[in-house]
Structure 1
Amino acid sequence: MKLPEHARSKSDKPLEVVRFSIRQDEDGWPPVSVEALWAESRGLDRLSIVSVPFFVAGVAPGDVVLTVWHEGERWASTVDLRGGHSVIRVGTFPEERGETWAVDKLNEFENMGLTCESSGPPFWLVAVDIPAGADIASIKRHLESGEKVGLWEYEEACVGGEWQDA
């Protein structure tokens, strides 16, 4: 698993991989049943998420999760502490747009001071990490206006009260 450039330990601790089980809906979405994220140790069986999830719902960078070991792999069991970030997924239909679109969206959101990752083919999702204190109202307006004119669709993967109040 390749470590994204922004997913670095803030304390020089080695990063670990934690896996999340994902429930798929009747249409098979999301297209994976497991997602692995980078995380930093916070002590016995606790990890702080550092990468932006594409498919896991209810988890954001900075969240601390409790983990269990199963067959030599670390699995998240529950969120123990919220880190104050939100995650939004932005996507389009891959046959209409592709890599250029995803790179443009990454740049667009990063120019707003946000951290993003692109899933690449075949889905071309952009996972957007929105830190606490960001201009949520402006970000939300931007997302809604792009959706209204058909540039993308977005979903709230993990949002808190700050997002809901904007």
Structure 2
Amino acid sequence: MDKSIKVLFVQQVDDHFVTEGLWCTEEGEYYIVDNIPFIANRIALGDTIKVELDTEDNAYYFDDFVAVSGNSTIRVFPFNDSIIEEIRKQLLHLGCESEVFLERKIIAVNVPVDVNYKPVKEYLDNGEETGNWTYEESCLMHSV
């Protein structure tokens, strides 16, 4: 059975630090990211990373990249909770899986390496232009 651990990603945002824990699966001496990040930037589902164990905290921390998956991570911030499931349904139709962090009203979206990003971006741009949401490309590996 594969060993899964929670790896902490610490990043500076403005004048403070934020930490996000992502589940990762052991692959030899490295780990593969199993979650779509909600907060951590420049990381995507399927990336292979090195971790460091802090024995004082008894916690694993992100150390470095070994290989990128080629997937992209997008965050959608809907202005109305009632459209969250419709957004996810449409993104799934475009080939993208997603996870929801309701407390922060964030939809974390994984755009797999083999998915054409152009229709995804058109959908996201349209929703932003019509005032339904805003979005950010937190780890963009695709080109349009």
Paired with 1:23 and 1:103, the residues of 2 have a C-alpha distance of 31
In structure 1, what is the equivalent of residue 37 of structure 2? 53
Question: Any stretches of 5+ residues in structure 1 without a counterpart?
Answer: 1-11
Paired with 1:56 and 1:129, the residues of 2 have a C-alpha distance of 13
Q: Which runs of 4+ in 1 moved over 6 A?
A: none
In structure 2, what is the equivalent of residue 134 of structure 1? 115
Contact 1:102 1:125 in 2 (8 A): no
Secondary structure of 1:140's counterpart equals helix
Deviation at 1:40, TM superposition (A): 0.8
Paired with 1:79 and 1:152, the residues of 2 have a C-alpha distance of 31
1:76 aligns with 2:76: no
Secondary structure of 1:23's counterpart equals strand
Contact 1:68 1:76 in 2 (8 A): yes
Secondary structure of 1:68's counterpart equals strand
Question: Any stretches of 5+ residues in structure 2 without a counterpart?
Answer: none
| Counterpart mapping for 1:77-156 below 5 A | 77-93=63-79, 97-98=80-81, 100-121=82-103, 123-156=104-137
Structure whose residues are more often strand by fraction:
2
TM-score by length of 2: 0.91
TM-score by length of 1: 0.79
> In the alignment, residue 90 of structure 1 is paired with which amino acid?
V
Deviation at 1:72, TM superposition (A): 1.0
In structure 2, what is the equivalent of residue 38 of structure 1? 23
Secondary structure of 2:127's counterpart equals helix
Paired with 1:111 and 1:139, the residues of 2 have a C-alpha distance of 10
Paired with 1:119 and 1:89, the residues of 2 have a C-alpha distance of 11
Q: What is the RMSD of the two structures over their aligned residues, measured on CA atoms?
A: 1.6
How far does the alpha carbon of each residue in 1:63-103 deviate from its partner, in whole angstroms, 9 at most, with x for none?
0111100121111012221011000000034xxx22x3222
